[in-house]
Every structure is written in structure tokens, then in C-alpha cells.
Amino acid sequence: MKKIVNAATPAVCAVALTLSVVAFANSNAATAPAPIVTSAPAAPAGQPVDLTYAAEKALPAVVYIKNTQNSKIETVEYSDPFEDFFSDPFGGFFGRGQGNGGRRQRQVQTPKRAAAGSGVIISADGYIVTNNHVVDGADELTVSLNEGSKEYSARVIGADKTTDLALIKIDGKNLPAIAIANSDDVKVGEWVLAVGNPLGLNNTVTAGIISAKARTLGANGVESFIQTDAAINQGNSGGALVNTRGELVGINAMLASPTGSNIGYGFAIPTAIMNKVVDDLKQYGNVQRAMIGIQGSDVKSYVDNQKDNGKEIDLGTMEGIYVAKVVEDGAAEAAGLKEGDVITSIDGKKVTSFGELQGVLAKKRPGDKVAITYLRAKKSHNATLTLKNEQGNTKVVKNADTDVLGADFRPITDAQKKQLEINYGLEVVKVNGGKMKDAGVPKGFIIQRVNDEPMHTFDDLQNAVKEANNSKDQMLVIRGIFPTGKKGGFVVYLQNE
């Protein structure tokens, strides 16, 4: 089985593959800085590679990050297997289980916790890039420079769970910032170093090559990993993947292994994605994510799947992205794409896999235009798409109080208005966690009123959350309609337990 494990919060999710993908934080986030040009040339083809220069350049810029989570009072569920035996023959229940298998709640005090990982200094004034899972849930963040020469307290500028990147800041001057290269230029077979703090062994360097590019693993929402055989283990998360010139090409994030330790393959987030995420976090407080408005898969995967089902499919190519569904009111629909089309290039660059498509989109913002080439009935067509955000428009998504909800929203479409016979509402298009999940609000639910105020736009919801946060009760009374047409409501408590 393939497991996604966040070592800072040990939780396991199983999906159907044969390897384990492990995101590690355990062991003993304006504009991203311009790449610094270094003088050491790459080794000539066929000649030995001296990696000492790269190690000397990279080591001072890689830091040790300690994540401390203080003791807290948490509400947990537990089961009393005997409680439902005391049932009322008239349909009620005497116990607190209420016929739910004896599920009850109690408050417990969690112990103080500590986890650790790595980070990379990207500017001399103290900006550091690391993984989201390295800093997630931290009450205190401590950063130690190379060789433990100095220790700083750090604050989180911004974090993005979807790309597993975070930007933190320490108050320092003249820090040893790393040079940043364009990860689009790295080649399969090129030598790289992984620099970090694995297994409690600080300031560790391992060597290998680029094994693959644009790799997807099913671990995050946005994936276009650089794959390497340089050894990556627990504690390497957030560390540097550098080329032979000591320039940063990726942020180490996870490894593939059935044992949880390195057996040959690690994965790094490319700097081409990192730079854009850093820029967004500094400028907006969160990532401005551009959506193309399709659901699909690699052509080869689609054709192979159809063949397994006894169907022979000829799309005119075995490379590209098969469009299985066009999202209503999305960028692709506006440009005329249809189910069954095959996207073969974006901005003149061939796309052969979904990982490559995600890699391109991860560098874009809502409102950006992209030129695509696609096949329909084996004939080539061109179109220009204006990318949209998760709310279905091109506006900047503000880092407002709605973050606490842990969900994404968009105004309902004309088709939904007609089908459900309503005039307005906000559809819950994704529930990632947070207060919406706690309240049981499902994906697809359409919010029409919050605290008796109508919800026409995302700004309406932002205002409602801000007002609720300033109120005594700090709660949202949500009323709306399910996709089936059934009306319903939820109470969302904004305060922490």
C-alpha cells in the first residue's frame, strides 16, 4: 500500500499503489530573490564531477527548524461498547450514546510535542523556505544556522498545504542566502546534492542524480516533483536540492519507500513552483492558484484503462492530457474545449503528463492567459484560455478570516440556479478541513444565507466571517440547499476549543 504520512502529526492515509510516500518533519515563506550567479561551471560531459564546491556553497544556507507544540486541551471521541444496551423500548436511549454505537466525547490534555526539519535561507534579511508540514501546528519555531552557530525565533509569513511549502522569517542580517536556479533547466541524469538534517544528523549532504521530472504521487493537490536518487530521510524535509554549482533547484519534501526510510527515491518541489508560491505568500498572504477548469488524466493512462475494459481507443496521440470533464463556467469551457479533447501543448511547450500540466499552472495566476493546442477527433486546434481562481473569477483571493473555514467557494452557475430554482448562493467546492469540516458541511452544499445575510459573492461570506469574529458568539448560522434540492443548515463555531 502507498501511505501518506505527515511525521509532525502521525496520520496514515492509504491509496492503491505499491510504495510508501512519506512527508517528513521529524528528526533529532513581494518577490522571490533573483538567482545569484556563481562562477563554477558544470563538469564537461564525460568528466568526473567534483561536488565539494556545491556542498561548500549550499551548506551555510540550510538551517535546522524545530517545531514546538504546547500542551493543549482537546476534545476527543471515544466509544463505550455497552452504552447502547440500555435502550428505551419506545425508541429513545438513556445513555449519551443516543444509538450511535456508544460514541462519546471527553476533554484530554495533550503532551508538549516537538518535531524538526530543514529549511533554506533565500534572502540575506532572513526569509526561509521550508515545507508546510515542517511548521504546521507550531506554537514556537526555532531556527538554528549551520553548525548551530546561532539560534533564532521564527514567524510564519505564509503556508500552503496544497504545494506543501511555507515561508518563514527570522530577524537576521547578512545571512548566507542560497543562489536560486531555474528548475525547468535541470535534466534527467544531472548530478545533484540533497542537503539537510536527516535522522538527527545535522548538516548532512548526500549525492545522486535527477531520476525524473514532473512526477506525480497522489500526495498533494499540486504535484510536479523532481525525482532524485540522492538519499532523503526523516529530517530532510524542507532542505535543499542543489545542482553542481550549489544553486537551489528544489525543496526536498518526501521519499518513496515501503519501509519509511530511503531506498533510492526522493522528491523535491521545483524552484519554478517555489518562486511563485513565495512571491504570492509575501504579496497576498496566500497562494493565487490558477485553474484551467478540466478534469482528466494522462492520455496513456486513459487509453490503457479503456483497453482493460475491452475498448480500443484511438485519440491520434499517446501523449497529452485527456479531457474527461469540462468544469462549468471554467476557463476551458469559455475557450470552447469539450469532453474528449486532448491537450498537447501550453504556451508552445509540449505537455505529455498531468504532472507537466500542473507544473505549468502552478507558475500562473488567475487572469493570466495561456495558449493551448489540443486535438479533437485527431485534428489540431488552438485556443487561448484566461485562467480563473477557485471561485471561478480572476480576482485576487484575499487572505481573510475565511481561512479558518478550511473550504473553497464559488458563486453558483446559471445551470444550478435553473436546476434548483434559486437566484443566488455560494457552492462549497472543496472542504479541506477547518471549521467547515468540523461542522459537517459537505462539498456541494450551496450556502444561501449566513447569519440571515444573503450570500451572493465570496465578499459577502468574508464580511460575514469578519462580523462573526467580532461578535460575542463567534459563530455562523448557515442556511442553504443540498444538490438534491433538500434544504438544510449548519452551525459553524469559529472560536477554538
> Which residue carries 549532504 as its cell?
205
∠ Cα 328 342 211 (to 5°): 115
Instruction: Let me know the angle formed at the C-alpha of 215 by 323 and 377, rounded to the nearest 5 degrees.
Output: 20
Residue 323 domain-assigned (yes or no) = yes
Mean pLDDT lowest among 21-35, 283-297, 387-401: 21-35
| pLDDT band at residue 102 using 50, 70 and 90 as cut-offs | low
Q: Which of 249, 255, 252 is nearest to 275 (CA)?
A: 249
> Residue 466 corresponds to which cell in the numbers above?
469578519
Runs of H (alpha helix) within 100-211: 132-135
State which of 255, 284, 313 marks the end of a domain.
Answer: 284
Cell of 450: 449566513
**Of 123, 183, 211, 237, which residue is the catalytic one?**
237
The pLDDT confidence band at residue 358, using thresholds 50, 70 and 90, is confident
- Report the pLDDT value the prediction gives residue 183, as an integer from 0 to 100: 94
Name which residue leads in pLDDT, 76 or 344.
344
Buried b (16+ CB within 10 A) or exposed e, 375-408: bbeeeeeebebebbbbbbbbeebeebbbebbbbb
User: DSSP letter at 185?
Assistant: G
The Cα–Cα gap between 277 and 285 comes to 10
* Range 1-30 average pLDDT: 35
Verify whether residue 164 is a known catalytic residue.
Answer: yes
For 311, the 3-state DSSP assignment is coil
Question: pLDDT tens digits, residue range 428-483?
Answer: 988 877 888 888 999 999 999 999 999 998 888 988 888 887 777 788 999 999 99
Cβ partners under 8 Å of residue 63, min gap 6: 118, 119, 120, 121, 128, 143, 144, 145, 146
With respect to residue 394, please indicate whether it lies within any of the assigned structural domains. Answer: no
Question: Please, which pLDDT band fits residue 219 given cuts at 50, 70 and 90?
Answer: low
With beta carbons less than 8 A apart as the criterion, state whether 118 and 252 touch. Answer: yes
Are β-strands 21-23 and 2-6 bridged in parallel, bridged antiparallel, or unpaired?
Answer: parallel
The larger pLDDT score, comparing residue 11 to residue 121, is at 121
What average pLDDT does range 131-153 have in this prediction? 88
User: What element of type H or E holds 280?
Assistant: helix 271-283
pLDDT given at position 60: 96
Nearest-angstrom CA–CA distance, 418 and 416: 5
Catalytic residue among 160, 164, 298, 401: 164
Supply the pLDDT for residue 254.
84
pLDDT tens-digit map of 185-204: 999 999 999 999 998 888 89
Q: Are residues 278 and 370 in the same domain?
A: no
* pLDDT of residue 147 exceeding 90: no
pLDDT average, residue stretch 153-170: 92
Residues 191 and 215 in one domain: yes
- The separation between the first and the last C-alpha atoms of the chain, rounded to the nearest angstrom, is 35
Residue 336 shares a structural domain with residue 346: yes
- Please tell me the predicted confidence (pLDDT) of residue 188: 95
Q: What is the DSSP letter of 28?
A: -
In a domain, 276, yes or no: yes
* pLDDT band at residue 220 using 50, 70 and 90 as cut-offs: low
49 band by pLDDT with thresholds 50, 70 and 90: confident
Q: Is 164 annotated as a binding residue?
A: yes
Which amino acid type is present at position 188?
Answer: V
Q: Are 102 and 116 within one domain?
A: no
For residues 98 and 151, membership in a common domain is answered with no
235 annotated to bind ligand: yes
Query: Mean of the per-residue pLDDT values for the chain?
Result: 82
Q: Quickly list DSSP for 429-477.
A: EEE-SHHHHHHTPPTT-EEEEETTEE--SHHHHHHHHHHHHTSSS-EEE
335 and 476 housed in the same domain: no
How many domains are contained in the chain?
Answer: 4
CATH code, 354: 2.30.42.10
Annotated ligand binding at 133? The verdict is yes
- Flag whether pLDDT at 493 surpasses 60: yes
Catalytic residue among 20, 27, 133, 183: 133
In a domain, 396, yes or no: no
| 257 noted as active-site residue | no
Residues 211 and 349 placed together within one structural domain of the fold: no
Q: Is the pLDDT of residue 221 over 70?
A: no
Q: How far apart are CA 109 and CA 96, in angstroms?
A: 22
104 and 115 in a single domain? The answer is no
3-state helix, strand and coil shares in percent for the chain, rounded to the nearest 5: 20, 35, 45
20 assigned to some structural domain = no
Q: Do 68 and 84 belong together in one domain?
A: no
Residue 396 has pLDDT above 80, yes or no: no
Is the distance from CB of 353 to CB of 216 less than 8 angstroms? Answer: yes
* pLDDT (mean) for 118-130: 96
**Residue 205: what pLDDT?**
95
Those residues with Cβ within 8 angstroms of residue 16's Cβ, 6 or more apart along the chain or in another chain: 1, 2
Same domain? For 329 and 405 the reply is: no
Q: How far is CA 465 from CA 83, 141, 348, 461, 495, in A?
A: 39, 29, 43, 6, 11
- The answer to whether 250 and 272 are in contact (CB under 8 A) is no
Position of cell 519554478? 272
Q: Report if residue 94 sits inside a domain.
A: yes
What span, in angstroms and rounded, lies between the C-alpha atoms of 167 and 388? 24
Pick 127 or 84 by higher pLDDT.
127
Distance CA 427, CA 134 (A): 32
pLDDT tens by residue, 229-277: 998 888 899 999 999 999 999 999 987 776 777 777 899 999 999 999 9
452 is in an annotated binding site: no
DSSP secondary structure string, 83-128? GGGSB-TTS-BSSTTTTSSSEEEEEEEPPPEEEEEEEEE-STTSEE
What pLDDT is recorded for position 138?
A: 84
Residue 10 resides in a domain? no
Highest mean pLDDT among 46-50, 295-299, 396-400, 457-461: 295-299
pLDDT of 336 above 70: yes
What pLDDT does residue 398 have?
Answer: 63
Q: Which residues pair with 127 in a beta bridge?
A: 169
Calculate mean pLDDT across residues 324-332: 91
Q: How confident is the model at residue 105 (pLDDT cuts 50, 70, 90)?
A: low
Has residue 21 got a pLDDT over 70? no
4 three-state secondary structure: strand
CA–CA gap between residue 388 and residue 396 (Å, rounded): 10
Cβ 210 vs Cβ 227: under 8 Å? yes
Is 308 annotated in a binding site? The answer is: no
* Single residue among 263, 284, 305 that ends a domain in this structure: 284
DSSP β-bridge partners for residue 23: 6, 254
Q: Burial letters for 224-240: b for 16+ Cβ neighbours within 10 Å, e otherwise?
A: bbbbbbbbbbbbbbbbb
CATH classification at residue 130: 2.40.10.120
Flag whether 339 is in a domain.
yes
Say which residue, 231 or 75, is predicted with more confidence: 231
Last residue of a domain, one of 362, 386, 410: 386
Q: What is the mean pLDDT of residues 155-166?
A: 91
Q: Which domain holds residue 87?
A: 78-108
Residue bearing cell 556545491: 54
| Distance from chain centroid for Cα 51 | 32
Question: What CA–CA distance (Å, rounded) separates 303 from 196?
Answer: 41
Q: Could you tell me if 140 and 186 lie in one domain?
A: yes
Residue 89 has pLDDT above 80, yes or no: no
Average pLDDT over residues 83-98: 42
pLDDT exceeds cutoff 50 at 329: yes
| Band (180; pLDDT cuts 50, 70, 90) | very high
Q: What is the mean predicted confidence (pLDDT) over 62-75?
A: 83
* Residue 9 pLDDT: 33
CA distance 238 to 131: 5
d(Cα 369, Cα 386) in Å, to the nearest integer?
Answer: 4
237 in catalytic set? yes
One domain, residues 320 and 208: no
